Amino acid sequence: MIAKFNSSPYFTYLVRIVPFAVFAALTLAQGQFGETGAYWIYAFKTLIGAWLIWLTRAYVKEMRWHFSWESVVAGVVVFLIWVGLDGLYPIPGFLFGERAASFNPLQSYGEGSASAWMFISVRVLGSSLVVPMLEEVFYRSFL
């Protein structure tokens, strides 16, 4: 039964859409539980996102890793452009209010708090490993 479903074109779409949709839905819920609740939801959605990547990795051929110098050069160039343009473009106030909400668990939990540093670590890992993989598979592979 599963082998039959795996060969379906719908399965190809599902393994690219569902992980991103779940992550996006949890992102919408993130602001609904107060300031400290947002940190817990982010940690939860990062774990769920990583688990969904793990489950779908065998079915998404674009997630198979291989090294190429061209990719490294492209990544460095995009990084330099991205960092170089920071501050040169306006941030529209109508999208983010007058000031975008900031992620600062040190303010919520205290400077020396282990919880604050745990949430900072989760944020760095989530935004550098989990989010890019989910977005790349959805935007480049599906759309």
- Asked if residues 26 and 131 have their Cβ atoms less than 8 Å apart, the reply is no
* Domain residue extents for the chain: 2-64+101-139
**Which tens digit of pLDDT belongs to each residue from 62-95?**
877 788 899 889 989 988 998 888 777 776 665 5
- CA–CA distance, 128 with 75 (Å, rounded to integer): 13
- CA–CA distance, 47 with 111 (Å, rounded to integer): 25
Structure token pair of residue 39? 């940190």
Q: Is the pLDDT of residue 100 over 80?
A: no
**Which tens digit of pLDDT belongs to each residue from 30-64?**
878 877 888 999 999 999 999 999 999 888 888 77
Q: Indicate the range of 66-70, 99-103, 108-112 predicted with least confidence.
A: 99-103
Question: Coil, strand, or helix at residue 91?
Answer: coil
Can you give the C-alpha Rg of the chain in angstroms?
18
Share of the chain above pLDDT 90, in %: 34
- CA–CA distance, 96 with 63 (Å, rounded to integer): 33
